Chains A and B, each alone.
Chain A
Amino acid sequence: MVADEVSETAIQSACSVVGAGLSHSFPGTATLFLDLDFVLLPSQITGVCGPSGCGKSTLLSILAGWETPKTGTVKRDGVRHVGWVFQNPHGVAARTALDHVVFPLLAAGLLRAEAEPEAMRIMSLFALGEIAQRPFSALSGGEAQRLMLARAVAAKPDLLLVDEPTAQLDVTTAATVNSVLGSIAASGAIVVIATHDQGTRTVCDQVIDLGLPQARVKGARLTR
């Protein structure tokens, strides 16, 4: 199996996620995916592709450990913190954009005076410096989506799950986000992106295509 073939590499890495024989369906529905095997490694971007309703978000939920697969296992080694950015951004309407990025840093033990400059640095990666003091409710969909990515990055996840990050972005901003996702992966995180976007798909090192007949891992043998 694919997972067996690369497991040695995974063991040698700082952290890894190994899925073996994953299948899932909800009660009363057809099987979403069947017998998936994959290995997710640091500094890799893995795309999860497929049509709507094929189980992309469900697979992310299983990777996060919030959903139990019907069959198979997910082994997370060295993954201490999982970050998930949902398809539709959600935030606290009256709090500023800066507050949203500062929060994970405060949660990590920084004081606000220390957290704000770091949050501004992260926000500038997503071209959000100008709107730092705006309340969340005043952000456009694209700004809010980038803000959620910035917040997730501020939490320094070992495994970052991103659901359709560019769905609400224009082409230029989408390219910026794709580039930043590459930078996040390069910093040593495992990045998994559920996407329809061809541009995002091209930055992925491997793709799990849930649209294929048996939803097998496509390109899992690829290495960086």
Chain B
Amino acid sequence: MRARSVISEAGRNLACGTSKPLLFALLVAVLSGVLAVADVSAIARVDAAAVRFQAAAASMRGIAAERRIDAASCDALARLSTIAASGALSTGEVLRLDAAPMTQFHTYRVSPGFGSLLGVGGATTDGVWVEAELAAALGLQAGMTVPTERGDLTVAALYRWPNDGRDARLGFSILIPESASEPFDECWMSSWPVLPSNDDLLLSTAYVIPGSNAALQVVPLNKNLGRDYDANAEFTSRVTSEARWFALLAGVALAVVAVSRRRMEYAAALHAGQDRTSQLLTVLLETLVWAGAGALTGTVTCLLAARLSGVTDWYTTWLVTVRCPVLAFIGALLGSAGAILCIKERLLFRYFRNR
């Protein structure tokens, strides 16, 4: 059979509905789309949990070693690709404001890099950083000057430190940025995802003191959200992580049904002299059209679902979940090829008797 005839026969089978292209395209679209949307939904849940985890400072980890932290090294951790922010911290002396002389406020000395941990990385270090609730209680705003027992202090920035299980010391406090040249007591870092290998980097910021055998321990700054939270494990073990293989099987199954319902026609075509290759190509062309249309619809559905799901990175989510329609398409082609190769001319009589 010539190539033009193969294309012509496939086109006629599609045009007159012999292949049931609309039905099978719809089934591919629905099955692969449902699986893809379910996967988007599962990823969105993992993403939301990760966002909550990070928002609660649970992705921050720290070490404490009194006057043993090299603040410059600690700040420099943030330059590594696996660490988002880092900075050093020491407890400062209490502070009294002229406006509230009877109240003592906790202060902390922080390295310049510490601001990136609080979301005030761009703020000037020429002044103090005031916790937002404290600022609201005192009527302070960024840029204001506050008279204190130590003289006037400029509010360089406000930072949020909600009471959600994280280390509570920075709540209702004032941070005083200082040069990183002096030793500090603690080094904090924030990384996403949380990688155990970063702990060693954190430990490397502490000076080694000969004779000191006190083991340093890296601890999460929000103990309420669990020390063992593993976002990567949550992602890979999500209930729909194998959805793409179900999509592949669905594609294969639909193609097998599509070919099987026409097995007598195919056997009769072989009996009429059609060669195997022409028959395979005709079936693959028809499958290409209906499975392609279905997979394309599933792909667009998946794209919309990813865009509307509110995930942090919709494009990556789409790339992960679009494997469902893509594999359904590949499955349909494989299923068609496998099923058509199982059709035998010699079974025509049996098909005829069993129809």
Contact = CB atoms under 8 A, between A and B. Distances in A.
A106 to B, nearest CB: 4
Q: Across the A-B interface, give the 7 residue pairs with the lowest CB-CB distance, nearest first.
A: A107-B273, A94-B16, A104-B272, A66-B346, A107-B274, A106-B5, A94-B18
B4 A83 contact: no
Contacts of B346: 64-66
A66 B273 contact: no
B138 interface: no
A111 B273 contact: no
Contacts of A73: none
Contacts of B13: 92, 95
B298 to A, nearest CB: 27
Given A90-B264, A107-B278, A111-B4, A66 B272 contact: no
B1 A107 contact: yes
| Chain B contact residues: helix, strand, loop or mixed | helix
Nearest to B345: A66
Contacts of A84: 271, 348-349
Nearest to A99: B12
B269 interface: yes
A136 to B, nearest CB: 10
A71 B125 CA distance: 102
Interface residues of B, number: 28
Nearest to B272: A104
Interface in B1-50: 1-2, 4-5, 8-9, 12-13, 16-18
Q: Chain A contact residues (Cβ within 8 angstroms of B): what range?
A: 20 to 34
Interface of B: 1-2, 4-5, 8-9, 12-13, 16-18, 264-265, 268-269, 271-275, 278, 345-349, 352, 355
Given A90-B352, A99-B12, A107 B269 contact: yes
Contacts of B272: 103-104, 107, 151, 154-155
B264 to A, nearest CB: 6
Identify which of A88, A92, A104 gathers the most chain B CB atoms within 10 Å of its CB: A92
A172 B346 CA distance: 34
A186 interface: no
B265 A92 contact: yes
A57 B348 CA distance: 13
A103 B348 CA distance: 17
A28 interface: no
Interface string A69-99: 0000000000001011010101011110001
A95 B8 CA distance: 13
A106 B1 contact: yes
A179 interface: no
User: Could you say which of A84, A90, A107 has the most chain B C-beta atoms within 10 Å of its C-beta?
Assistant: A107
A84 B5 CA distance: 24
Contacts of A66: 345-349
Given A90-B264, A93-B18, A109 B12 contact: no
Contacts of B5: 106, 110-112
Contacts of B352: 86, 88, 90
Contacts of B348: 66, 84
Contacts of B274: 103, 107
Nearest to B268: A90
Given A66-B349, A90-B355, A92-B265, A108 B273 contact: yes
A61 interface: yes
Given A93-B18, A106-B9, 12 more contacts: A61-B349, A66-B345, A84-B348, A92-B18, A92-B265, A95-B12, A95-B18, A103-B272, A111-B5, A112-B8, A154-B272, A155-B272
Contacts of A93: 18
Nearest to B6: A106
A67 B349 CA distance: 10
Contacts of B278: 107
Nearest to B20: A94
A103 B10 CA distance: 12
A92 B269 CA distance: 11
Contacts of A57: 349
B228 to A, nearest CB: 61
Nearest to A82: B271
Nearest to A156: B273
Contacts of A64: 346, 349
Contacts of A81: 273
Contact of A109 (B1, B18, B347): B1
Nearest to B274: A107
Contacts of B8: 106, 112
Interface string A107-136: 111111000000000000000000000010
A103 B352 CA distance: 19
Nearest to B17: A94
Interface string A186-217: 00000000000000000000000000000000
Nearest to A60: B349
Contacts of B12: 95, 99
Contacts of B345: 66
A204 B346 CA distance: 27
Contacts of B264: 90
